[in-house]
Amino acid sequence: MASATTGKIDVSYLNDASESSPPPPRSQPLMNPDPNTSPDASKTSTETSATELASPNILVKKLSYRQINIAVNTILEAFKFDAFTRYVTGQTGIDPPPPPSTFAKLKYAFYFWYFLTRRISLQIDDAHSLIIAFPPPSLVQNGSWKDKFIDIVFGGMAMILAKFDGEVVNRRRRELEGQKAAIESWLDGRGKDMYCVHLLATDPAYQGLGYASRLLDAIARIADTEGRSTWLLSTGRHNVPFYELHGYVTVGELRLGGEDPDWMGEEVICPVMVRDARCTSEIEKSE
pLDDT for position 33 = 31
pLDDT of residue 55: 56
Splitting the chain (287 residues) into consecutive groups of 10 residues, what average pLDDT does each group show?
39 41 35 35 34 64 97 97 96 95 94 95 98 92 81 92 92 95 95 96 96 96 96 96 97 96 96 90 54
pTM here is 0.80
Which 3 state secondary structure label does DSSP give 31?
A: coil
pLDDT given for residue 58 in this prediction? 87
The per-residue pLDDT for 281 is 52
Instruction: Give domain 61-284's CATH superfamily.
Output: Gcn5-related N-acetyltransferase (GNAT) (3.40.630.30)
Give residue 287's pLDDT: 52
Domain borders along the chain are 61-284
Return the amino acid letter for 169: V
Contacting residues for 53 by C-beta, under 8 A, at least 6 apart? 210, 213, 217, 245, 246
In this prediction, residue 118 carries a pLDDT of 92
Please report which helix (H) or strand (E) contains residue 45, including its range.
none
Cα–Cα distance between 190 and 172 in angstroms, integer? 26
User: What is the pLDDT, as a whole number, of residue 38?
Assistant: 38
CA gap 90, 261 in Å, rounded: 11
State the DSSP code for 230: E
